[in-house]
Structure 1
Amino acid sequence: MARIVIFGAGGQIGRRITDEAIRRGHEVTAVEVDAARVKKLPRKANAVEGDVTSRDSVQRLAQEADAVVVAVGGVDRPVHANAARTLVDVLPRIGDQAPAVLHVSSGGTLEDDNGQRLVDSPDFPAAERKDALDQVDALDVYRGARNVRWAAIAPPPRNMGQGQRRGAYRTGNDRPVVDAQGEIGISHEDFAIAVVDEVEKPRNRNRRFTVGN
């Protein structure tokens, strides 16, 4: 059993990760910045109010954790890079027992067949570009960090939503995972499985990876 702190536990992805971790018997601290959303978090989790961009929050909640999952989203401010900066600043101060970080990234950070970032493509959705560029900055922060164990998991750039919990997925590195029909995508449920699998058995330490069905 691991002690997992999940920031953004009330969001679409964060909730699935929280449910998956609880299902497997882990001790989950589910964190939301909005007190109203804290009340809606699963009863089997330790639901608390906290902010992943706050050094005080991170220090308080990460102190006894084995892993910190960052699954925040749906905000207007550049939260992802600030979250990364906060974590790489605070966690080394905890020492050798500091938790590993698993950051839910953006499919826009992945590359096409020519090695171009998807977020830089003219076809990338304009409404998602600001968030994806913030995730690019967050990835740069992690890559430049020292004495921090981290991984960033990028979802497919499209076709991700509520669906079946198939319990199967495939992993990739810099490019989206493509199935036999040339399609990309994954359900929230299977993405959550991939996240908790990485927490339990880290295979992508200090790098960004992606998953798909």
Structure 2
Amino acid sequence: MARIVVFGAAGQIGRRITDEAIRRGHEVTAVEVDASRVKKLARKANAVEGDVTSRDTVQRLAQEADAVVVAVGGVDRPVHANAARTLVDVLPRLGEQAPLVVHVSSAGTLEDENGQRLVDTSDFPAAERKDALDQVDALDTYRGARGVRWAAIAPPPQNFGSGQRRGAYRTGVDHPVIDAQGQIGISTEDFAVAVIDEIEHPRNRNRRFTVGN
């Protein structure tokens, strides 16, 4: 059993990750900024209020954790990059006891067949570009950090939403995963499976990867 802290635990992705972790018998601390959202979380989770961009919050929750999941949603401020900066500042101070960070990234950080980042392509959704660029900054922060164990997992750029939990997926590194029919996508349920798998059996230390069916 691992002790897992999930920031953004009441969101669409964070809730699935929380549920998957509880399903496997892990001890979950589910964190949200808004108290009203905390109250809606699974009863088996230890629901608390907290902000992943707060050094005090991260210090308090991370020192007893085996893994920290960052699944916060995009807001007007650059929350992803600020979360990464907070974690890479606080965690090295915990030494060898510092938890693994699994950061839910953006499909915009992936590359197309020409090696261009998806967020920089002309057909990337304009409404998602600000959030994706914030995730790019977060990824750069992790890549430049020392003394932090991390993995960033990017969802596919298409067909990503609630669906069936099949418990199976394939992984990629820089490019979206494409199936035999040329399709891209994964359910949030199977995405959560991949997140908890990475915590249980880390295979992508200090790099961004992606998953798909």
Q: Judge same fold: TM > 0.5, yes or no.
A: yes
Q: Does 1:46 align with 2:46?
A: yes
Which residue is equivalent to 1:129? 129
Cα distance in 2 between the residues matched to 1:32 and 1:155: 21
SS at match of 2:97: coil
Q: Distance in 2 between matches of 1:196 and 1:155?
A: 14
Q: 2:62 — aligned with what?
A: 62
Deviation at 1:76, TM superposition (A): 1.7
Distance (whole Å) between structure 2 residues aligned to residue 125 and residue 112 of structure 1:
15
User: Secondary structure at 1:64's aligned position in 2?
Assistant: coil
- How far off its partner does 1:74 sit? 3.7
Distance 1:19 1:44 in 2: 9
Residue correspondences, number: 213
Structure 1 stretch displaced more, 71-80 or 103-112 = 71-80
Cα deviation, 1:133-179, whole Å, max 9, x if unaligned, reads 00000000000000000000000011100100011100000000000
Code of the aligned partner of 1:119: V
| 1:211 aligned residue | 211
Please give the alpha-carbon distance, in whole angstroms, between the structure 2 residues aligned to 1:210 and 1:200: 17
Kindly indicate whether the alpha-carbon contact (under 8 Å) linking 2:74 and 2:80 is maintained by their aligned counterparts in 1: no
Show the 5 A alignment for 1:162-181: 162-181=162-181
Identity of aligned residues (%): 87
Moved more, 111-120 or 67-76: 67-76
**Which residue in the other structure is 2:150 paired with?**
150
- CA RMSD for the aligned pairs? 0.5
TM-score, reference length from structure 2: 0.99
Following superposition, the deviation at residue 114 of structure 1 comes to 0.5
Per the TM alignment, residue 88 of structure 1 is displaced from its structure 2 partner at its CA by 0.1
CA offset digits 1:65-103 (Å, max 9, x no partner): 000000000422110000000000000111110001000
Question: Could you tell me whether the CA contact under 8 Å between 2:176 and 2:211 is conserved in 1?
Answer: yes
Letter in 1 for 2:166: R
What TM-score does the superposition give when structure 1 sets the normalisation length?
0.99
